[in-house]
Structure 1
Amino acid sequence: MIALIEGLPPGTLGFRAHGHVTAEDYKNIIVPDVEAAFALNRKLRLLYVTADDFTGFDPGAVWDDAKLGMRHLSGWDRVALVTDVHWLRGTAVAFSFAIPAQFRLFHGAEIEEATRWITAPDDS
């Protein structure tokens, strides 16, 4: 399940992943929110957090994530991933070269630091 993180400034989206994330979660939550935000903003920032109960993604969710990222390849400004999931951290590091934005990886205890970074002015 995906939940929107409220209270972020315009041009910044945040999502918290709970349990097992499915392609339906992307289709019903992430894709509409991202598309609506891109309709209003040339560049977006993304804060993605895995909750303590996160168990993984189904293959359809991974595919939808890749398609969404590629569809807006030059539109990402900053991406922050907040997770303590070992395999996800390793995957993020291995593929960080392919993320078309400033990318930072944070541990779960660093959620406030990640939020400050993702919402900071461009010169920070």
Structure 2
Amino acid sequence: MLTHLNYLPKHVLGLHAVGEITNADYEKALEPLLDEHIKQNGRINFLLVLETDIKDFDAGAWCGNIGIGLKYFTKWNKLAMVTDKEGVREFSHLFKYILPGQYKGYTLEELGEAVKWIAEK
């Protein structure tokens, strides 16, 4: 399930992922938020707090993740991934080679640092 983190500054979009993540989660939760965020800010500063494992993402979710990355390809500014799942953090480091903009990974203990970094203009 994806939950919108509405406590972040207006120029930062954040989601909390927990449990099973499906492609429908991306379509219902993330895409409308991204569209609105881009209308308001022009660029994407995205914080993902991930408290689930890779096995909890169905195949459609991985495809949705890639599709969203490509759909908004020119809009990415900053992406912060926060998770204690080392395998997920290492896998997600691939985004810095695929998407434009800046990318950083953090542990859950470093959430405050991640919020500070992603919120910097």
Q: What CA RMSD, in Å, does the superposition of the two structures yield over aligned residues? A: 1.3
Q: Distance in 2 between matches of 1:73 and 1:94?
A: 15
Following TM superposition, the consecutive aligned residue runs of length 4 or more in structure 1 with deviations greater than 2 angstroms are 93-96
Q: Distance in 2 between matches of 1:102 and 1:95?
A: 9
The aligned residue for residue 32 of structure 2 is: 32
Structure 1 unaligned spans of 5+: none
The aligned residue for residue 72 of structure 1 is: 72
SS at match of 2:93: helix
Query: Is 1:18 aligned with 2:22?
Result: no
Query: Is 1:91 aligned with 2:88?
Result: no
1:25-68: per-residue Cα shift (whole Å, max 9, x none)? 111101111111112221110000112xx232111111111111
Q: Distance in 1 between matches of 2:64 and 2:118?
A: 23
SS at match of 2:28: helix
Give the CA deviation at 1:77: 0.8
TM-score (ref. length: structure 2): 0.91
Give the CA deviation at 1:24: 1.2
Residue 107 of structure 1 aligns with an amino acid whose one-letter code is T
Query: Is 1:62 aligned with 2:62?
Result: yes
Residue 83 of structure 2 aligns with an amino acid whose one-letter code is T
Higher helix share: 2
Greater mean deviation of Cα atoms: 42-51 or 54-63: 54-63
Structure 2 unaligned spans of 5+: none
TM-score (ref. length: structure 1): 0.89
